[in-house]
Chains A and B, each alone.
Chain A
Amino acid sequence: MSRLHPLCFIVVFALLSGVARSAPYTPQSDDQVLERLPFKATASEGRELRQLRRALAEQPQNMDRALALARRYFDLASAEGDPRYVGYAEAAIRPWSNLTEPPLQVLVLRALLRQYRHEFDPALADLTRAAELDPGNAEVWSWRSAILLVQADYSGARAACDRLARVASALLASACSTAVDGLSGSSAQAYAELATALARRPDADPDLKLWIQTRLAEMALRQGKDELAERHFKAGLALGVSDGFILAAYADFLLDHERAAEVVPLLRDWERSDILLLRLALAEQAAKLPAAPAHVAMLKERFDASALRGDKLHQQEEARFHLYLQGDASGALRLAEENYRVQREPRDARILMEAALAAKQPQAARPALEWLRASHYEDPLYAGLAQRLTGGAR
């Protein structure tokens, strides 16, 4: 055995490749673009934002100006999906939100900002106080019902819809109530009611139509009508409104139906969204595409960065990431359990059940099974998961 051989190899290989690591650097050229801003300063959005900022700077004690700017920031946070604007909005209304009795409009906006950060109970407390100040405020009731739906409090959500019905149009009231019914065992009736309502209003806003098509698709899925669901997804996408919600829901549908290859062109340009990037990576892995490892690494980097600051906004996605892209069932289960304490939408229950199955700890899925039983949620896929879990427990 010659001692030389391995050492020769080592030297050769050591020379062959350098180690590539991200580190601070000095760009070569002044023209190198380092960062692209959400919009140009000269564009109308940028101008409007600058005007609102300047107006507030002139009169820092003017609450209406602060609210106008904060509202604009909140809308941007939702539209651009950029949580930085939530921090900006909070800072703009800080002088009033720090008061012991914040004014109505500040309470409402603070509730929206809090729910954005998944602080649901403080958000509900703000809405409760706001409803006391102004019981006829449609926005307060609609947000209340939306938050209670996420917490799976269907009777509370329905009560909020009833209050909304007194102050809003019939169409909006039925959109609110069918959203609750569709989750609690009556998706057939809810589907029929919502479909009729949509047919009656061909003039409706494209945003509203998109939302209704997504909900109809989900209700059809719950009844096991997959083809009908896909027709609604496609009708929604054909409206040409860019919306992450429908893209994610349709991507999940395709992934569930082993049509991963179709997900890739759908989400190719959505890397910047954590939620859609997860689905893209899942699809690329399922279709064994070479882009998968890079996207998995990108997701890991994003989850690591938010862990560093102590954020837990995307635990549902992070749980799916651990379960399906890292093969870490116990880590996924821990995240899914923690997530389910805060968020209880069907998707949250699903990842909890899937992680519990994979980790061979069926008892951990109990909260999800209890929800499934109590809500009468109908989706056959969920029933299948529940059956495997209870079978496994026996």
Chain B
Amino acid sequence: MITVDGLTKIYGNRTALDHVSFEVPKGEIFGFVGPNGAGKTTTLRILAALLEPTSGRALVDGADVIEHPDLVHDRLGYMPDFFGVYDQLTASEYLDFYASCYRQPKARRKKIADDLLELVGLTDRGDQAVDTLSRGLKQRLCLARALVHDPAVLLLDEPASGLDPRARVEMREILKELQTMGKTIVISSHILPELTELCTMIGIIDQGRMRATGPVHEVIRQLTAGRRLRITVLGQKEEAAAVLKPLSAIHEVVMVNGSIEARYDGDDAAAAGILQTLIAAGIKVSGFSQLEGGLEDAFMKATSEDI
């Protein structure tokens, strides 16, 4: 659905994007993460045909963003990280205005506005002036605006930034609903745990270069070197640590919230061997599980070293 190939953007002598490439198949939710100034917004603006790349190409549903921006605009909904609203318009009129800008027939516009207000939970705010809405409600309204022409692709630039925890949860629920509607969504965000839960694919960008891209768990597995075990024992923590530390497969043993976390090399058989050793040493093991590295770990790894 989205193809980005060798995208480069140079401002003067600063390279904002350096041969960025990735693909997002239809129906996926692609989380685009990276530190501030990494090139996320630049990439999204190029995909929205709002910015011309220095070289490379980007396709949205087969339409080149430079050659056919009209087709691109027809197929995607864009929500920028910062946006304003018009004075003197109600939420319903705001959506009606953008629906008419997308050439939606007049007879359908009211239904479109009503349906979208319901989708984003603003049905009771339809007659309220948009400039009097809170930031969270404006974010939701802007998301509704991006959907007025029922696009197949959604580009959401930091949709949860500046929202309180409740508004974030509500935004996440709306995005899940959109996922079930079959939309392909590209979402940039700094809130990594939410992305892990929401996204099916991820791309990590840093200093204009794509560090890793692919399905979320695959990227995490690639980037989090070593595997971790969480071991819970009945009162013999020191003894258990003393048994674990000399083992050649174990790299590190730490106490976390009453449990032991051990980083090790090897496969499931190695983990089973560690468990056997503990039991053979007389340690009463009440819990033994493998921990998968989180997106934070992957992100820190990807953005802290040159891959």
Chain B binds chain A: no
Residues of chain B touching chain A, judged by Cβ–Cβ distance below 8 Å, are none
Residues of chain A touching chain B, judged by Cβ–Cβ distance below 8 Å, are none
